[in-house]
Structure formats: structure tokens, C-alpha cells
Homo-oligomer: A and B are copies of this chain.
Amino acid sequence: MIIIMDRGVTEEQIGNVVSRIRDSGLDANVSRGTERTVIGAIGDERKLDPEMFNSLSGVEYAMHIVKQYKIVSRESHAADTVIDISGVPLGGKQIQVIAGPCSVETQEQMDVAAKHVLDAGCRLMRGGAFKPRTSPYAFQGKGVEGLDMFEKAAGRHGLPIVTELMDVRMLDTFLERGVDVIQIGTRNMQNFDLLKEVGKVSTPVILKRGMSATVSEWLMSAEYIAAGGNHNIIFCERGVRTFENAYRNMLDVTAIPVLKKETHLPVIIDPSHAGGKAWMVPALSRAAIAAGADGLLVEMHPNPCEAWCDADQALNPQELKDLMGVLGQIAQALGREI
């Protein structure tokens, strides 16, 4: 922690800051410059909070110099973590494309979708049974019934499944049904009670970035899960909110190298929710893999025009197949495979 003092600071004010640092069990280093006096706290600064100093008189501002996340940080664990999803590795040399429809609609739709996911060469399937919708009057998902349809369809094709959990009270049902990966959606990235609950189980968790969450806040949300004991965390960037309204969200590819530097955990991208249009998906998918992502979460629907939700952002089966082809070549250019 570094505390920058005001220009005309008094010795008494400096003394107060030093005392507060020592009261917390750390040491203080006072550096008197020509324009400002700077006080450094020596020791485990995670015990301190800038607020403890910002309200003292004579303090201009206080700031941490060390990142606040521990378990998820690359500093604490240098090697890449490879997560085992019911036998499918995520985070290693092999890139994983998780495909499937936005929402579970019927048993037939899921059966056909699962077949196409497998045919395209994907090893994991996505689908939503509980849907977060901006409007209370929009389709809210098929619920537990949808979960059962999804399990049945994916099971027949040997595909582990990824599905979103919105309500803490539904976690047991997810575990009973054997959901392979729990997805925490963008609107729940800072639903701390939900994070704490999934931190208590061992099922892998895909943690989507909040609509306008900083990378640092996102890492802290992952730390909530990790602090509970569950270290099987996958970051998923899905576009952030900006001033631009020509597309639904702005895919933040810079987050990929930045996360790869800050954390040892896998990073995937959702190109479908980012752009919001199927025709943008191939370009965004290629960019993500080229930038170093470990995988994708892509919407594919057997018949996009008939989809009940996000119809205009789903690829059709052939488009998914074509995309897998070009991604394979890009993966190769980076020494990876798909």
C-alpha cells in the first residue's frame, strides 16, 4: 500500500498514517519528496484497505500496489491449469469449441442439435434451460424439464453439457442431474451468494464477464469461487458494454492476453453474444483463437429461423462445420489443435 500525502501535510498527519499502518501489524517507510511525501506500508498489504487512509486528514489518496486476487493469480501458480470436463481437457494444447442452441426447446431439437455438434467435431455441448431475459414477458426457459431433455440428448452422443445456473436454490438439482459445467451468466458475475455456493462444489464453472466488469473485478469474482475450494474455473469473455450501438456488445480480445498473463486458468470466448449477429460469429471466433483463447462457446441451432430465443445470432450446422475447419488452421499456426 502506498499513501500519497497532500502538499502541505503536517508531521502530525504523517504520524497518524504511520500509526494506523503499525496498528495493522505492518511497517511504514516515509519518503519525503520535494512536492509530496509518500508513505509505503511494508508487509502483507491485503490486511489494509485504501479506505482506511483516504478518510484521514492530510491524505491525498492511498492505493494497493499488489493485486488483490491470490488463488487465481499466475503469481501463485505459474503453469497453465488444464481442467478435466468429464474427460475433455480445457486449457491445454487442444482448443475446445462448446456448441449448441441458446435455449432448450424440444427433445427433438436437442437430439438433432447434439448430432450436429458432434458431427462438426465439437466435444462439449451448450444449451439453456433457465434463461435470463430482460423482459418478464419473454420466454424464461423450459426449466427442469429442459434440463432433462438436454441431458438425454447430450448423453446419447457422449457430450458433456454446459448450462446456466441463475438461482442458488437450483444448485442441488444441477448436481443431481450431473451437469458437467455450471455457467454463471454475465448478470450474475457479482451475485456473491451464488459464487460462494458454486465455490463449495467441484463441478467446473464457466464464469462469464459482467457487462461492464473490469478484468480486475472479474478475477476477484473468480477468487470468490476459488476461496470456497473450487478451483475449476473457466473465464468467458462475451463482449462488454460500450458507447457503440452498431453491435450488441464489443468483444474484448485484449482481455485474452491480459488474462493469460494474470491467471493460470483457461479463457474462452462467446462470439455469439458479443456481436449478436450470426454473420459476425466467424470473424470474431477466428480473432479469439488467434489471440490465444482456449476455446469458444458458440450458439448453433438446427434451424436458426425457428429458434425461440436469440434467433439471429445462431449459426446453422453447416456454418459451424465450416468454422471448425478454418479454426483448425489458425490453431495450427499457433502450435495448437482443435
A residues lining the B interface (CB < 8 Å): 2, 4, 7, 29, 31-36, 38, 40-46, 49, 51-52, 54-56, 65-66, 68, 75, 132-138, 166-169, 187-188, 190-193, 196, 210-212, 214-217, 220, 223-224, 227, 239-247, 250-254, 256-258, 261, 274-275, 277-280, 283-284, 286-292, 304-305, 307, 309-312, 314, 326, 329-330, 332-334
Task: Tell whether, in the assembled complex, residue A312 and residue B257 are in contact, meaning their CB atoms are under 8 Å apart.
Answer: no
For A31, what are the chain B residues with a Cβ–Cβ distance below 8 Å?
A: 29, 31, 40, 42
Q: A287 is contacted by which of B187, B215, B223, B253 (Cβ under 8 Å)?
A: B253
- List residues of chain B with CB within 8 A of the CB of A40: 31, 33, 38
Q: Quick one: closest B residue to A306, CB to CB?
A: B55
The 9 closest A-B pairs by CB, nearest first: A290-B290, A329-B333, A212-B212, A54-B312, A286-B290, A187-B190, A287-B287, A257-B283, A287-B291
How many identical subunits does the complex contain? 4
Known interface pairs A40-B33, A311-B54, A312-B51; A254-B280 also in contact (CB < 8 Å): yes
The reply to whether A280 and B251 contact each other, CB–CB distance below 8 Å, is: no
Inter-subunit contact A326/B330 (CB<8 Å): no
Q: A55-B314, A257-B284, A289-B290 are in contact. List 16 more A-B contacts (CB 8 A).
A: A29-B33, A31-B42, A33-B41, A54-B311, A68-B135, A68-B137, A132-B190, A136-B224, A166-B191, A169-B169, A212-B243, A214-B243, A245-B245, A258-B280, A329-B332, A329-B333
* Chain B, Cβ-Cβ closest to A195: B136
Question: How far is it, in angstroms, between the C-alpha of A108 and the C-alpha of B212 when the chains are bound?
Answer: 38
- A244 lies within 8 A of B253 (CB): no
Q: How far, in Å, is A195 (CB) from chain B's closest CB? A: 8
From residue A226, how far is it (CB to closest CB) to chain B in Å?
8
Instruction: Choose among A254, A309, A312 the residue with the greatest number of B CB atoms under 10 Å from its CB.
Output: A254
Say yes or no: B38 contacts A65, CB within 8 Å. yes
Contacts A7-B75, A51-B311, A258-B246: A283 and B291 contacting too (C-beta < 8 A)?
yes
Partner of A51, one of B32, B169, B284, B310: B310
